[in-house]
Structure 1
Amino acid sequence: MLTPTAASDGTPAERPHSSGSARPQPAGRGLGAQVAEAVAEGLTAVLTGLLPDPPPKAARTCTALQHASSDGLLGTRCDISLRGQPGGWTATGRAEHVLGLPGADRILCEAVRPGGGGTVLVLLPLRGPGVARGEGKPSPLTGARWGCVRLDSVPVPDAHTVQVRPGHEQLLHDAVAGTRLRLARLVTELAADAVAAAIGYVVERPLAGGRVADRQAVRHALVEATAQVRMCDAHLNRVESRAAPSLRDAALRVAAHVAFAAPRAVETACQLHGGYGFLEEQWIARAYRDSVYTCALLGGQDQLDRATGLLPITAGPEAAAVRRTTAPVRPPDSASAFRAGVRALVRQDIAPHVPDWEANGGVTRQLFAAVGRAGVFGVRVPAREGGLGLGLADGVAFIRAVGRDAVGGVSTSLSVQTHVAVPLLQEHGTQEQKRRWLHPLLKGDLVAAVAITEPGGGSDLVNATATRAVATDEGWLLDGEKTFVTNAPIADFLIVLARTEPRAGALGMTFFLVPTDLPEVRVRRLETVGLRSSHTGRIRFTGCRLPAEAVLGRTGLAMAHLARVLPEERLAISAGMLECARRSVERTAVLPTVRSSAAARGELSGWTVRLEAAEAFLDAAVERFDGDGGGGGGVRLDADLAKTVSARLTQLIVNGCARLAGPDAFADESEPGSLLPALRDVRVLSVFGGSCETVRDTAAAEILRGAVVRRGRDPRHHLLAPRTSTALRRDDAQSRR
């Protein structure tokens, strides 16, 4: 049973009497009131400031702009003409679906002078001769009131008009764009509140002796909804923090994505509330109703589709900055010099060899030598130990460069060494192990493979690992089998996960360094459908004797060691995935059959917007990783979300591009529109670096653990993009100054 209480905006809010009831309404006013305030403080305040005689700040003023100026913002329609001459102006026409009009005293509207006189902003009273106004139909947007007005030769003083000149026009567009971004932010926060409420509800709701949150389908739904919210947040943060060449276009891109993603997140949250999600007295039901209105609020689907479809298909985040450079990679005078150098490295030493690698079974050791000479394997290794001392952001720049001009198999082979083997050795290796294995690895003189997956199971490592290492007087005796091991056929040594204590679960697993030239190590090459440039193998260990110093890290703590490198690997994988998707879009966009189809161009542009949001989220996750060293639970969650989102989006885009391209997608790989390598590679993305199902499980565990830890605090804290420690330190320093 629910007992109504008073919410902060005066509306009834429910308070549960048992854990089976829905959670209370989040504090704060309804979305409609927040939208009205955002429009008044942004759009209306900016435009009335242009008038020679602006109204007082306390005046209740609403705003109506034409579609051409607002790109459909708020769904308002305005068709008003200004007749006469200075000192004798009159306004005639109508404005429909105007936010706040029923309670306003004045309307600021856009009027057109006949005969090509240009656009004029006009401030008109809403009472008096010639003014007929009415209230529109009730809106799904809680607390918002809309209305329409008809004007018939209403007198307009000169002081209440202003000609929209070129300078004013830019200001008008910026005010519209800024308001659109602010509304998109409000919708994103609504979605965050809804998902946070759903998390709390499924944690507390009992079901069959457990909780609703124990069901895998529920956990995966929470992960998908959380990912949608955090991508919207990251997309907004990117546009708000950067000086975009065209704020208008950038705001439209964000609005298009928020209008797509946020309502889906709220719908999921509503569904997870069960029957409570359909009760009008419940906040979550009202949140769902508000979210349905998102598209109309931000511009209307037709308008967003049209505006988005006109936006150009552009290269990825790293491509434009380093396209025409031949700068060396090493030494890195700056991050930009490094990123410029890796582009040159890829184009000169990698891309020309890709056709041969794809056709003849994989990369050669010369690839590792070239990358090692450039220092890329040590991108995150401190300079005192032979590395470049840079961050994961620079490593991701390299992966993007490889993804742009090479194929997925190349980045796969290199990422295993750069983002798994090197971090494990760097963090847990002894000085002797670093001398023997790490330092030659950084130079490209050695090739490493990480042997984790077994024939009996992949992602469930604790239960599936059957490879055993038994302690002996001389060291260890290793027996077992590993499969799907990247680089195994050409590797000089392996980092092998083995069970050392059968009954200790996750605390009974240990890493071992195993040379591949031992007679007890047998490697067999596996032929795969995709990732043809990457060597994949199956390994059998039969009575393999290892010295005591073969242990990497601490005995029994391999899973803890692995947990620290998995976020780095998954973020790198995500970067390669998204670059593959973007390259597929670019290749498809130049095909004559696609360029001549408005529907195909619109579909590609829509994917580009979603790609931009995913890239923004990935970049924010990488920044956070570099800010706190990659060890926090938030970073693990970011990496898991990025991996699942990137895999699904890349598969959707690559397969969709093939559908649009038709036979051109399956042409010879040298043809501009060929998508063959991407089509071969994209299938494995669902299982590479951990299956998407398993990664969703780990992400759900992190989300639910965060909900318990943060109980009683701002529920959105765990859903909206966290601040990096670097940003926090910068803010702290500024506050001290």
Structure 2
Amino acid sequence: MFPGFYEEIHEEFREVVREFVAREVTPHYKQWDAAHLMDRAVWEAAAENGLLGLAVDEDHGGMGLTDYRFRMILDEELARADALGLALALHLHDDWVLPALRRFGTAEQQQTWLPRFLDSSFIASVAFTEPGAGSDLRGVRTKAVRQDDGSWLLTGQKTFIGNAVSGDGALVLARTDGSDVKRRGGAESFSLFLVEKEDNPGYQVGSQLEKMGLKASDTAELFFSEARVPAENLIGGEGRGLEIAKEILPQGRLAVAAGAAAVAEAALGQTVDYVRQRTAFDQPVAEFQNTRFQLAELQIELEAVQRYLAATVEAFDAGQLDVVGASKAKLFIGERAKSMLDTCLQLHGGYGYILEYPVAQAYLAVRLMTIFGGTSEILRETIGTDLLRD
């Protein structure tokens, strides 16, 4: 980010993150990428270094770091280390599931779950998307049926679920209105459950999905066949699932925007280094006017992205970021980052197409940023509808 954005306390935190990445991530990341799975030990090490659940308050054992700049430092250092799969896995845990629990969980739920988000004993997934319901959550068909003892039986299928294999459970959106699951439901038709995998035979993880990039972050389908969910695992009350999903959406979309900006910044730095070292026609590639012109455009784009992100973070930290504002940030930053990575790869020439080069991995990773958390088309619809509202 640009000078002045971070304060001294953030840079002190950065040193902790940088040491953690150098010691616990960099030596192992290629192995995790090849295996399509990260060792549980990295989550445990992150917990030991205070890097999980940053926003959890002191009453529940956390540090209460709600200033989003701390989360951004994690993204930046992982992007510089080409460990983008871990960055995504942390986002799912901290930027999607944790906010639902912090904001809508009961005192008893927070007392039970928040310490587990800190100590790595519960790694979370977000299970909203289904084969027939992506951005349109009212099309969700997974259903939960209340039993006489107050518990729920969960039945359905979810897809594109990050941390599905390595995680311990998921925040699941399910229909609880008892209606025919073939029709779209109203806002009150859905509820959110924190569902544990352990000792729950109805909770089944499908085979890993083969992705273009971010392979160290495991992704799979989830199948629920009358998976039992205790009554106390209902988050926010019955019928509030879509309302809560909308409330946590700004942080989720901010997280994607921040991740895209971090990837773009790291890729530009790597590209500058590359064109200085690479020669063509007996001179460094950096000495060609076309190279300098493209780098100039990339730098301007990066600064525009960072300034937009800074304003969005300021709004979030002040409690003023809504879905439309977060959608604007994700759309602008995600699309700019995608374009920037295309240019960075081109400046690497043939080497940019080789997967062992960081720019190729970044190119594949940033492509997800215009899909995950709401496609660019859905974001444009959200922004346009708001603009035309009376």
TM over 0.5: yes
What is residue 526 of structure 1 aligned with on the other side? 209
Which ranges of structure 2 fall in alignment gaps of 5 or more residues?
280-284
2:339 pairs with one of 652, 661, 666: 652
1:510 pairs with one of 180, 188, 191: 191
Equivalences for 1:571-586 in 2 at 5 Å? 571-586=254-269
8 Å CA contact retained: 1:465, 1:498: yes
Q: Secondary structure at the match of 1:337?
A: helix
8 Å CA contact retained: 1:321, 1:340: no
What is residue 341 of structure 1 aligned with on the other side? 16
2:162 pairs with one of 479, 482, 486: 486
C-alpha root-mean-square deviation of aligned residues, in Å? 2.2
2:171 pairs with one of 492, 495, 498: 495
Q: Relative CO higher for 1 or 2, CA cutoff 8 Å, sep ≥ 6?
A: 2
1:441 pairs with one of 117, 141, 156: 117
Displacement after TM superposition at 1:321 (Å)? 7.7
8 Å CA contact retained: 2:203, 2:222: yes
Displacement after TM superposition at 1:572 (Å)? 1.5
Matched, 1:471 2:152: no
8 Å CA contact retained: 1:637, 1:703: no
The one-letter code matched in structure 2 to 1:618 is L
What is residue 697 of structure 1 aligned with on the other side? 381
Q: Secondary structure at the match of 1:449?
A: strand
Structure label with greater radius of gyration: 1
Displacement after TM superposition at 1:485 (Å)? 0.5
Matched, 1:610 2:304: no
Residues 238-278 of structure 1: per-residue CA shift (max 9 Å, x gap): xxxxxxxxxxxxxxxxxxxxxxxxxxxxxxxxxxxxxxxxx
8 Å CA contact retained: 2:25, 2:83: no
Displacement after TM superposition at 1:319 (Å)? 12
8 Å CA contact retained: 1:651, 1:683: yes
Equivalences for 1:198-213 in 2 at 5 Å? none
Q: Could you say if the C-alpha distance between residues 477 and 376 of structure 1 is closer, same or farther in structure 2, counting changes exceeding 3 Å?
A: same
8 Å CA contact retained: 1:318, 1:400: no
Q: Secondary structure at the match of 2:100?
A: helix
**Matches of 2:23 and 2:6, distance apart in 1:** 17
8 Å CA contact retained: 2:82, 2:362: no
8 Å CA contact retained: 1:589, 1:601: no
Q: Secondary structure at the match of 1:540?
A: strand
**Matches of 2:231 and 2:328, distance apart in 1:** 38
Displacement after TM superposition at 1:421 (Å)? 1.4
Equivalences for 1:349-498 in 2 at 5 Å? 349-390=24-65, 391-462=67-138, 464-474=139-149, 475-498=151-174
Displacement after TM superposition at 1:668 (Å)? 5.6
**Matches of 1:507 and 1:696, distance apart in 2:** 26
**Matches of 2:140 and 2:369, distance apart in 1:** 22
Which ranges of structure 1 fall in alignment gaps of 5 or more residues?
1-315, 323-332, 709-737
Displacement after TM superposition at 1:534 (Å)? 0.6
Displacement after TM superposition at 1:354 (Å)? 1.8
The one-letter code matched in structure 2 to 1:550 is N
Displacement after TM superposition at 1:697 (Å)? 1.7
Residues 324-355 of structure 1: per-residue CA shift (max 9 Å, x gap): xxxxxxxxx93442233223322332233221
Q: Could you say if the C-alpha distance between residues 318 and 667 of structure 1 is closer, same or farther in structure 2, counting changes exceeding 3 Å?
A: farther
Q: Could you say if the C-alpha distance between residues 588 and 379 of structure 1 is closer, same or farther in structure 2, counting changes exceeding 3 Å?
A: same
8 Å CA contact retained: 2:261, 2:333: yes
Displacement after TM superposition at 1:686 (Å)? 2.0
8 Å CA contact retained: 2:257, 2:369: no
Q: Could you say if the C-alpha distance between residues 450 and 414 of structure 1 is closer, same or farther in structure 2, counting changes exceeding 3 Å?
A: same
Q: Could you say if the C-alpha distance between residues 352 and 703 of structure 1 is closer, same or farther in structure 2, counting changes exceeding 3 Å?
A: farther
Equivalences for 1:209-248 in 2 at 5 Å? none
What is residue 271 of structure 1 aligned with on the other side? none
**Matches of 2:24 and 2:124, distance apart in 1:** 20
8 Å CA contact retained: 1:393, 1:623: no
**Matches of 1:318 and 1:422, distance apart in 2:** 30
1:675 pairs with one of 356, 359, 377: 359
8 Å CA contact retained: 1:424, 1:561: yes
Displacement after TM superposition at 1:318 (Å)? 8.2
Displacement after TM superposition at 1:603 (Å)? 0.7
Identity %: 32
**Matches of 1:551 and 1:318, distance apart in 2:** 44
**Matches of 2:367 and 2:109, distance apart in 1:** 36
TM-score (norm 1): 0.48
Q: Could you say if the C-alpha distance between residues 638 and 400 of structure 1 is closer, same or farther in structure 2, counting changes exceeding 3 Å?
A: farther
**Matches of 1:652 and 1:523, distance apart in 2:** 35
Displacement after TM superposition at 1:539 (Å)? 0.6
TM-score (norm 2): 0.89
The one-letter code matched in structure 2 to 1:430 is T
Count of matched residue positions in the alignment of Structure 1 and Structure 2: 373
Residues 558-593 of structure 1: per-residue CA shift (max 9 Å, x gap): 111112221111111111111211222222222224
The one-letter code matched in structure 1 to 2:33 is E
Equivalences for 1:607-646 in 2 at 5 Å? 607-628=298-319, 632=320, 634-646=321-333
Matched, 1:537 2:220: yes
What is residue 282 of structure 2 aligned with on the other side? none
The one-letter code matched in structure 1 to 2:290 is A
8 Å CA contact retained: 1:468, 1:499: yes
8 Å CA contact retained: 2:142, 2:154: yes
Equivalences for 1:580-595 in 2 at 5 Å? 580-590=263-273, 591=275, 592-593=278-279, 594-595=285-286
Q: Secondary structure at the match of 2:116?
A: helix
